A and B are shown apart, each in its own frame.
Chain A
Amino acid sequence: MNLFSIIGEALRALRQNRLRTGLTMLGMIIGVAAVVLMLSIGQGAQTKINQTIAAMGSNLFIVVPGATSSGGFSFGSGSIRTLTINDAHAVAELPSISATAPVTTGTVQLNYAAKNWSTIITGTTPDYFEVGSWKMESGTTFTESDLRSAARVVVLGSITAKNLFNDEDPVGKTIRITNRPFLVVGVLMAKGQSLTGRDQDDNVFIPITTSERQITGNQFPGSIRYMLVQGKSADEMDIAEIEITQLLRQRHRISGTKENDFTVRNLTAIADVATGAAKIMSMVLGAIASVSLLVGGIGIMNIMLVSVTERTREIGIRMAIGANQRAILTQFLLEAMMICIMGGLIGVVLGIGGAWLVSQVADMLIVITLGMIGLAFLFASAVGIFFGFYPAKKAASLKPVDALRYE
């Protein structure tokens, strides 16, 4: 018995029943296409989250002023400005911390030539750009000396720059912020949405000193809205958190069991949760798609069983002219596998096409890897062998005399 001839026989049998072969294959096609599509959507979501996390900066803490209560009334987080610029400087000196950036915020009206734009203004230190992993599109950030002199310099977010300047290069131009002239020193590269969905690119940044004295003003001088803190290494985030807490308690003279008047949040931990959620979503999608592959496989088994019954006489004839059990088994198994492999190929193509369509229509990030195509394909072949084996075995174990007598 010659394997190539058996492949030929199997192909011929499939061709003879085009409609049935096609319909059976359809189950496989849909299953594989669904797996590829779902995996690519899941992978896309995961990649998107990873990009966002990378853009956010690594090993980040955010420290916000804590809630206070007065006469039994609790106020929300940040309701009192217990954190100061000096707190930020002190935290930066901790051994486990590489940099900090105090932040004040406000909303301002910007003017340039005839255009005006309202946006969020962030007063901070030059370290902010380092800590937040910002990259420059053009120009530079403001400097330590700008900070000391409370200079009127501004760094624009990409969307703000676009709205005020269109295609003009903003660096070196002067814009007015609440009617005060500011020199544009740099434009940031676009970052996209944050994990919480906020647009991070519609923003302007000025030295925190300038902001406090000239733009937003401050009810409590030196206080800040929050500070970003960057730890030195991912392994020491727990230690860093303890150090920050201890230092701030000391500075704020909180002793014993009294509650903190600030909150330290580990942003990396939040990111981990998001990554984990995306991974679970990916798995759930893949699992749902696998079910359709399984259903397709059962369809194949069903059709192959019908086929074995219908072709009992043919099997008898083949045995009478010298086919051994292995030859019959091989032929039927090959038929099932060919349905799976061809269906798998078409399914992969359709899955990729579908993923592309989703990325176009729903504006989602879709990631297709060779691995997931291989996986879908492998799974399809395994389904073929698994569900094809029983009918093939049934065909091969027929007794020649019974098979020949079958009407």
Chain B
Amino acid sequence: MPLIQTNHSTSPLIRIENLCKSYSLEDANGKIITNQVLFDINLTINQGEFVAIMGHSGSGKSTLMNILGYLDTPTSGSYWLSEKNVAALSGDELARIRNRNIGFVFQGFNLLKRMTALDNVAAPLLYAGINRSNSRKQALELLRRTGLENFAMHQPNQLSGGQQQRVAISRALINQPPLILADEPTGNLDSQTSREIMSLFEQLNRDQGITIVLVTHEDDIATYARRLIRLKDGHIIYDKNDDVETTLDELV
């Protein structure tokens, strides 16, 4: 049951209902300890939205992000991406959706070491079954758009943090996914570079209509988004959309 009404008339891209996530750990005595991270999350994100998820460490924001990106599976509840129920998908299909429909941007950039920027950007196409020369052509075009064409043959350790993050964004874009998930994308960057990266996201959202979900703990970064969701101890405690006002009391 969607709580948020937006003025975007588009269909929901992400729909989450009663989602819970808990981890089971074995303590020193062999006793199983269950640690619940997410409680009964209900969330709908429409196509074309730019959402920031905020929260302190331990609030469950990264876990939510991993579940949104098919990197982790929920303990209970349902998650539809483009009207497809994740629970019904096989591992191969999940990999396929990660490949085609989701672009990831990480705090630590997560580029493949000892591979050129060009090969890094082209890497997702390898798993999409596109041949090497074609994929390198596409990768070069993306690097050109992010202003890194002169660094195409550089390896990650020869690039600055901002450059690495732009390579990572290029990689996220190469399969033209409708959704980009960014986990603290500016966490390792200085404020000037952060602003550059954030305007790149803004531009992608505005010009290409790509849905962007961003996890951050910096308020000024979150302001780039048009919708803000706050998590605390595994609950959504705040959900404000610039485009439409919502009553938050209902959410708590």
Q: Is the CB of B127 within 8 A of A324?
A: yes
Query: Which residues of A sit under 8 angstroms from B98, Cβ to Cβ?
Result: 319-322, 400
At the interface with chain A, which of B4-12, B88-96, B138-146?
B88-96
Interface string of A233-258 (1 = CB under 8 A from B): 00000000000000000000000000
B114 to chain A minimum Cβ distance, whole angstroms, is 5
- Give A221 to B92 CA distance when docked, in angstroms: 96
Q: Is the CB of B110 within 8 A of A317?
A: yes
A316 to chain B minimum Cβ distance, whole angstroms, is 8
Query: Which residues of B sit under 8 angstroms from A4, Cβ to Cβ?
Result: 131
- Give A322 to B71 CA distance when docked, in angstroms: 10
In the complex, chain A residues 1-34 whose Cβ is within 8 Å of any chain B Cβ: 1-2, 4-6, 8-9, 12, 16
Contact of A12 among B111, B115, B130 (CB under 8 A): B115
Q: Is the CB of B131 within 8 A of A322?
A: no
| Interface flag for A325 (CB, 8 Å) | yes
In the complex with contacts A16-B114, A400-B72, A404-B110, A322-B129 CB distance below 8 A: no
Query: Which residues of A sit under 8 angstroms from B104, Cβ to Cβ?
Result: 320-321
Task: For A320, give the chain B residue with the smallest CB separation.
Answer: B104
Q: Is the CB of A404 within 8 A of B99?
A: no
Contact of A314 among B99, B113, B126 (CB under 8 A): B113
Interface of A is mostly: helix
- Give A16 to B171 CA distance when docked, in angstroms: 22
Most chain A CB atoms below 10 A, which of B110, B124, B127, B132: B127
In the complex with contacts A12-B115, A314-B112, A404-B110, A322-B72 CB distance below 8 A: no
| Interface flag for A401 (CB, 8 Å) | yes
| Interface flag for B123 (CB, 8 Å) | yes
Contact of B126 among A1, A326, A400, A404 (CB under 8 A): A1
Q: Is the CB of A9 within 8 A of B126?
A: yes
Q: Is the CB of B110 within 8 A of A323?
A: no
B227 to chain A minimum Cβ distance, whole angstroms, is 24
| Interface flag for B59 (CB, 8 Å) | no
Q: Is the CB of A320 within 8 A of B100?
A: no
> Interface size (A, Cβ < 8 Å)?
27
Query: Which residues of A sit under 8 angstroms from B128, Cβ to Cβ?
Result: 322
> Interface size (B, Cβ < 8 Å)?
31
Task: For A317, give the chain B residue with the smallest CB separation.
Answer: B110
A21 to chain B minimum Cβ distance, whole angstroms, is 14
| Interface flag for A318 (CB, 8 Å) | yes
| Interface flag for B66 (CB, 8 Å) | yes
Task: For B171, give the chain A residue with the smallest CB separation.
Answer: A321
Query: Which residues of B sit under 8 angstroms from A1, Cβ to Cβ?
Result: 126-127, 129
Task: For A324, give the chain B residue with the smallest CB separation.
Answer: B95
- Give A6 to B127 CA distance when docked, in angstroms: 9
Contact of A2 among B92, B124, B126 (CB under 8 A): B126
| Interface flag for B178 (CB, 8 Å) | no
Query: Which residues of B sit under 8 angstroms from A12, Cβ to Cβ?
Result: 115
Interface string of B157-198 (1 = CB under 8 A from A): 000000000000001000100000000000000000000000
Q: Is the CB of A325 within 8 A of B71?
A: no
| Interface flag for A368 (CB, 8 Å) | no
| Interface flag for B48 (CB, 8 Å) | no
Query: Which residues of B sit under 8 angstroms from A313, Cβ to Cβ?
Result: 110
| Interface flag for B69 (CB, 8 Å) | yes
Task: For B65, give the chain A residue with the smallest CB separation.
Answer: A401
In the complex, chain A residues 298-350 whose Cβ is within 8 Å of any chain B Cβ: 313-314, 316-327
- Give A113 to B72 CA distance when docked, in angstroms: 101
| Interface flag for A394 (CB, 8 Å) | no
In the complex, chain A residues 139-164 whose Cβ is within 8 Å of any chain B Cβ: none
Query: Which residues of A sit under 8 angstroms from B130, Cβ to Cβ?
Result: 2
Most chain B CB atoms below 10 A, which of A8, A322, A400, A404: A322
B95 to chain A minimum Cβ distance, whole angstroms, is 4
Most chain B CB atoms below 10 A, which of A319, A320, A321, A323: A321
Q: Is the CB of B95 within 8 A of A5?
A: no
Query: Which residues of A sit under 8 angstroms from B111, Cβ to Cβ?
Result: 317
A-B contacts, 27 of them at CB < 8 A, read: A1-B127, A4-B131, A5-B131, A6-B126, A12-B115, A16-B114, A316-B110, A317-B110, A317-B112, A318-B123, A319-B71, A319-B95, A320-B104, A321-B99, A321-B104, A322-B95, A322-B96, A322-B100, A323-B95, A323-B127, A324-B95, A324-B127, A327-B95, A327-B127, A400-B98, A401-B71, A404-B106
Contact surface of A with B, Cβ cutoff 8 Å: 1-2, 4-6, 8-9, 12, 16, 313-314, 316-327, 399-401, 404
Q: Apart from A321-B104, A324-B92, what 6 extra A-B contacts exist at CB < 8 Å? A: A1-B126, A2-B130, A16-B114, A318-B112, A322-B124, A404-B110
Contact surface of B with A, Cβ cutoff 8 Å: 66, 69-72, 91-92, 95-96, 98-100, 104, 106, 110-115, 123-124, 126-132, 171, 175
